[in-house]
Structure 1
Amino acid sequence: MVDLAGTWRFTALEGAELEGAYRGTPWLTFDGDGQVFGLAGVNRIRGTWRLAGGTLTFGPMVSTLMAGPPDAMTREQQVLRLVGEPVTVSTPDEDTLELTGVLRARLVRDPGAGDASD
């Protein structure tokens, strides 16, 4: 079983450039109680999650409503698109998470990712 608890930083996100990210690279923190929060690109997001077998489903997600530069908003739209549909989860190793659904993404375990985003 995949252990999602903790903070994960995006290292790849289909359709979005992560280099030179405004406000920092997107990240997600999964709490053990089914809550998820993070940074989508410009705005903070929060919602719920559920892992059944190898499928990760996010519940309704809410977001702050700030605007940012076009590249940051593209990142944000792709993150929101990714978490808007169920995704298949695989873990090449215990510190790498691959999400495959409407888009593909790779995340790495990074407990300090949220600290550097503001």
Structure 2
Amino acid sequence: MMWVRIVGSLAVMAALAACQKVLNDAPKRPLATLAGTEWGPMQGELDQFIGFKTGGDVVGSGGCNNFFGSFSQNGRLVTFGPLASTKMACPPEIMDAEREFMTVLGNVRAIEATHLELTLFGDANQVLMVLRRRDWD
């Protein structure tokens, strides 16, 4: 009877160890789709972000103005439809940062995403920006 408990305990410990490895590897695994995720720059004091909704809609903030539009994803390739935004005025340094963020989004051609990071690539496969997942903590 004792050996049954020992074997049972070992089986449970092995299963828990396997589950822990899966959980630890989750942030490093490739993310199949952007739908349902939200991302922001890793540095910066502005609340800039982009959110990918199911159904192909995208929403976000450049730091001053909110924007919205559409996106499509085919593996690594991403295209954005026209993005529209509100037209509020903010201090020049915020408007400059917003313009830079929106320019990057306009130049995105491909992505690589894990559960924690989204890397945006341009036409020549150069890294434009690395974003961190906002809803992962």
| Short-chain TM bin | 0.7 to 0.9
Question: 2:79 matched to 1:79?
Answer: no
Residues 9-65 of structure 1: CA deviation (Å, up to 9, x unaligned): 2215xxxxx2x32xxx21011011000001012100000001123111110100000
Question: 2:39 matched to 1:8?
Answer: yes
- Counterpart among 66, 82, 98 of residue 44 in structure 1: 66
Q: Distance in 2 between matches of 1:78 and 1:50?
A: 22
Q: Please state how far the C-alpha of 1:3 moved relative to its aligned partner.
A: 2.2
SS at match of 1:81: helix
Identity %, equivalent residues: 28
The structure whose Rg is larger is: 2
Q: Distance in 1 between matches of 2:72 and 2:108?
A: 10
* Residue pair 1:97, 1:108 contacting (<8 A) in 2 also: yes
* Residue pair 2:118, 2:131 contacting (<8 A) in 1 also: yes
Q: Distance in 1 between matches of 2:116 and 2:33?
A: 10
Q: Tell me, which stretches of 5 or more residues in structure 1 are unaligned?
A: 13-17, 113-118
Question: 2:51 matched to 1:29?
Answer: yes
Counterpart residue number, 2:81: 59
Q: Distance in 2 between matches of 1:2 and 1:26?
A: 23
* Residue pair 1:58, 1:85 contacting (<8 A) in 2 also: no
* Residue pair 1:37, 1:44 contacting (<8 A) in 2 also: yes
In the alignment of these two chains, the number of paired residues is 102
- 41 and 65 in structure 1: CA distance in 2 versus 1, 3 angstrom threshold: same
SS at match of 1:65: coil
Q: Which has the higher contact order (CA 8 A, sep 6+)?
A: 1
Q: Please state how far the C-alpha of 1:69 moved relative to its aligned partner.
A: 1.4
Q: Tell me, which stretches of 5 or more residues in structure 2 are unaligned?
A: 1-30
Which TM-score applies when normalising by structure 2?
A: 0.66
Q: Please state how far the C-alpha of 1:101 moved relative to its aligned partner.
A: 1.4
| Paired amino acid for 1:101 | G
Which TM-score applies when normalising by structure 1?
A: 0.76
SS at match of 1:2: coil
* Residue pair 1:56, 1:88 contacting (<8 A) in 2 also: yes
Please identify which structure carries the higher strand content: 1
